Structure 1
Amino acid sequence: MRVTQMNAADATEGLLGLFGGLPRPVISHPRRTSVEIHDCLRRLILDGLLPPGTELKQAELARVFDVSRTPLREAFRMLQEEGLIDADINHRGRVTGLDVADLDCLYAARISLEAMGVRITAGRLTRREAQETSAHLHDMDRAEETGDAMAWHEAHRAFHRMLVCRCTPTVLRTITSYAERSERYLRTLQDRHPGVFPQRRQEHYDLFAAVMAGAPDQAVQLITRHLARTARRVIDDLAPGRAALDVGQATVMVCGEDLGTAAVESWTPAPKGVHT
């Protein structure tokens, strides 16, 4: 018994060291325990504070967070669904690394779904929705100016969601899930190439203008190029020379052009006609 207690104490001390200085979940209500643990761990992974390869054990986290293992199991399940950890039957999780094949397929799915989403949303935003979408754009600008990455990503997710808000709730949940799973790759791009974000800012404004103007063909072209550029840049960093075959198939299907093998800077400009 003494050995078991010593091992548990040593393990907990190690995990306390890992989480020393890192934010821990603040449980606002017992029914939200698993959600708030998930949100906390997800944020730490996306921010790089729990890097790839970090081992997480449910029993140890339960002691550190002072919760039962039941909400830990649910939080691990959600993290695994998002591709952020690999979990095994021994209730251990390991933070996953960046996977080029996953990125390629994930962005291909996003291109297909979000192209449909902007097409059916273009010209159909209510006045209040248009104001909300514009506010998200300005929130992104302010966050970029102040260097607040967390605020930028929150506003960015909300902005993209508004562009496809005429989808049914089921489809919208799928789009949101894929967008959340791809956020780590977007953060990689942001960290390695901060200079691309002034260009991204204009792409966001052009997307908003096309949706507001009721120009579905242009909105589809813009969202396709916008997402494919992100995928191609990250793949070029992680696996130079590798073609984004899935992205290419998606862009052929959506707009008749293979953007999976084209050099990022050599693509033809997106269609003109709608200006901010």
Structure 2
Amino acid sequence: MPQPTVVIEGLVPLDLPDARQSVGPLHAQLRECILDGRLAPGTVLSQVALGRQLGVSRTPVREALRMLQEEGLVEAEPNQRMRVACIDPAELDADYAMRIMLETLAMTMTLDGFDAQARRAAKAQLTAMRRAARARDIEGWSAAHGEYHRLLTARAGAALQRQLRALSDRSVRYIRITQRFDPTRWDEPGNVEHPAILEAVLLGDRDAAVSCLAHHLERTALRVMREHAPDYSPIAVPKAMDLVNAGLPTWKA
């Protein structure tokens, strides 16, 4: 007797003539559903059920899940099934510590070349974030937020950019889950912090820009960890902040 198809909200069938072309779009769709919280932590991902819902064979599903496993977004179970990776506060702690160190570095590499075009683009993303937040458009806000942070680090070089993108992708998953559980207040701290970072950048105040960005990332990390793992005591983020503050004048720290 055939097993019933398990329908996962947000997944849509792929319409590709060649099954060999389906791995990329399938990986992208599953990845986006994990990052934005539609596929919640702990969700079991059956290759058969996913194949039926998406209209593809098990082979591209298996390959897409393998790619997601390499990214740390899914985990293998003993029965060879996969499940969406559960919330790991230690991983989040480490990811944000690395973001604090690397993103502040990347911003200092970008400041000298932050020209009029970059300034206009960053201001436009701040406006887009405010509008999306008022409309409670989490996806729109997330896109503008990601582009805003990218603009602040745009001259850091390809290798560092890749590391920042990977860290951002892992942390944005937790942020989006938090946003969905707190639909009325999730944007409030960023409404103050994001403009403060840009103001320091526009003034050419390197120390203030580094301090604002580091404290913004620290505050975000501690809030997400507090909400998802209240019993966890962060270690890496405070150490990263100690290192950043050690390089700033005491009146800036």
Q: Which category describes the TM-score, using the shorter chain as reference length?
A: 0.7 to 0.9
> Do residues 254 (structure 1) and 244 (structure 2) align?
yes
Equivalences, count: 248
Contiguous gaps of at least 5 residues in structure 1:
1-5, 258-269
Query: Paired residue for 1:131, among 117, 120, 127?
Result: 120
What CA deviation, in whole Å up to 9, does each residue of 1:198-242 have, x standing for no partner?
221121111112223322211111111001111111222233353
Answer whether contact 1:124 1:214 (CA < 8 A) is retained: no
* Post-superposition CA distance 1:51-102 (Å, at most 9, x none): 2222112344233322244432342233223332113697631012211111
- Spell out structure 1 runs of 4+ moving beyond 6 A: none
2: CA distance between counterparts of 1:217 and 1:163?
14
Q: Does 1:75 align with 2:56?
A: no
Of residues 36-45 and 174-183 in structure 1, the stretch that sits farther from structure 2 once superposed is 36-45
Q: Aligned AA for 1:34?
A: V
Correspondence for 2:97 among 78, 100, 108 = 108
Report the secondary structure of 1:131's partner residue.
Answer: helix
Evaluate the alpha carbon distance shift between residue 212 and residue 91 of structure 1 in structure 2; reply closer, same or farther with a 3 A threshold. farther
Cα contact 1:73–1:91 (8 A) shared by 2: no
Q: Is the 8 A contact 1:123 1:212 kept in 2?
A: no
How far apart in 2 are the matches of 1:81 and 1:194?
Answer: 34
| 1:108-130 alpha-carbon deviations (Å, 9 max, x no partner) | 11111101011111231232222
* Residue aligned with 1:242, SS: coil
RMSD: 2.7
SS at the partner of 1:147?
coil
Q: Deviations over 1:26-52 (max 9, x none)?
A: 557867632322232223223433222
What residue in structure 2 maps to residue 14 of structure 1? Answer: 5
Which residue of 1 is the match for residue 12 of structure 2?
Answer: 24
Structure 2 residue aligned with 1:96, among 55, 70, 85? 85
> Which of 196, 206, 224 lines up with 2:196 in the alignment?
206
1:1-276 counterparts in 2 under 5 A? 6=1, 9-10=2-3, 13-15=4-6, 18-19=7-8, 22-24=10-12, 26=14, 33-87=22-76, 92-190=81-179, 191-192=181-182, 194-195=184-185, 197-240=187-230, 242-256=232-246, 271=252
CA distance in 2, matches of 1:111, 1:230: 11
Runs (5+) with no aligned partner, structure 2: none
Distance 1:193 1:241 in 2: 24
**Normalising to structure 2: TM-score of the pair?**
0.86
Q: TM-score, normalised on structure 1?
A: 0.79
Structure with higher RCO (Cα < 8 A, 6+ apart): 2
User: How far did 1:135 drift?
Assistant: 1.6
- For residues 13 and 207 of structure 2, the distance between their equivalents in structure 1, rounded to whole angstroms, comes to 44
